[in-house]
Amino acid sequence: MQPVNRTDKRPPNAQIAASIRAAILSGELEPGAQLPAGHELATLFGVSRMTVQTAVRTLREEGFVRSRAGSGVYVRDQASLPVPGQHDHVLAGVAAFLFEMGHLKRLTRAGWLLLGIPQPETVAEHCFRAGAVGIALAALEGADVGRTAALCLLHDSHQTRNGDVLSVARAYVTTAVPAAVTAHQTSAMPTVTAKIFQDLVAEYEAGQTLESQLARDADDIETLLQAAEYGAQGHDTAPWRQTSTAALRTSSARQLAQAIGSANPHSWWSAFIASYRELHASPQGQTRAQ
């Protein structure tokens, strides 16, 4: 756990909650471990005890810690987190999580509704193509391809529970942080499985590794691709294109954005027209057609 970063735009209590949350998810603070006393945390983070209390209250509401009167604050055991019910099969929690991920196939990307697009792509569709983008970017940057793809696939997994909040609503709506949602989603899983999902989401949200930065770029590139496609249909997607392009972190992503900007999103199949005609005009093509 690190002192509060004064250059971070997040309020100190949010930074402290994030730091303790990361320590719990990474195993630095194990289930049942007691947090340092309030005055010790205040000294460690360089803030007032009231700020620490606000951060701890957030973690308590998220299900990460619990208080014992006259004793202190303790990391909650994973099994005590909210679960959908009692299950007999050892992998019932994994099955439940996978069913929950299926909900992303029915959850539309809300931002495009502002343009009057009646049936925007789903969150699952967005994550799938973001995964493909992540593979390409990881290969170009020499990063771990598999981990980048995994980060892309899971980066919106928390939206099964808190939805895809419209940009205009974010100033009015407060939702649980993704790491907290993931902890609840995976609480009935075997620990070794739950930790994989929790670590991936925590890594993506922290944005410190090359793979997480590429996954974030893949998220923006996928939005850029979708904006180009909706733009070709006559919708004004300029704000989405500008925002997505400005957010890119890596040189490979910026180069890919340039390529996307100069391409026709509906001409990817045109190169096959000539070969199709040549194939069916040749004797070999006629033989294969028969």
Average pLDDT, the chain: 87
Q: What is the pLDDT of residue 215?
A: 98
* 12-76 and 92-261: identical CATH topology: no
Round to whole Å and give the CA distance between 267 and 76. 54
Q: Which region among 61-75, 96-110, 224-238 has the lowest average model confidence (pLDDT)?
A: 61-75
Parse the chain into domains and list their residue ranges: 12-76, 92-261
What pLDDT band is residue 139 in, cutting at 50, 70 and 90?
very high
Count of alpha carbons within 13 angstroms of residue 280, beta-carbon side: 6
Q: Which of 47-56, 106-115, 133-142, 259-268 has the highest mean pLDDT?
A: 133-142
Q: Number of H helices and number of E strands within the chain?
A: 14, 2
For the chain, strand residue ranges (E) read: 65-68, 72-75
Give ∠ CA 237-133-209 in degrees, rounded to 5: 110
Query: What is the tens place of the pLDDT at every residue in 254-285?
Result: 999 999 999 999 888 877 776 776 766 666 55
**% residues pLDDT > 70 (the chain):** 91
| CA-wise closest residue to 200 among 163, 150, 132 | 150
Q: What is the pLDDT of residue 31?
A: 87
Round to whole Å and give the CA distance between 98 and 85. 16
The dihedral over CA atoms of 45, 50, 54, 59, expressed in degrees to the nearest 10, equals 60
C-beta atoms surrounding 75 within 10 Å = 19
- Determine whether 112 is exposed, middle or buried from the number of CB atoms within 10 Å of its CB (0-12, 13-18, 19+): buried
Q: What is the pLDDT of residue 79?
A: 39
- The domain 92-261: what is its CATH number? 1.10.3210.10
CATH class, range 12-76: mainly alpha
Q: What is the pLDDT of residue 80?
A: 44
Q: What is the pLDDT of residue 26?
A: 72
Span 170-189, average pLDDT: 86
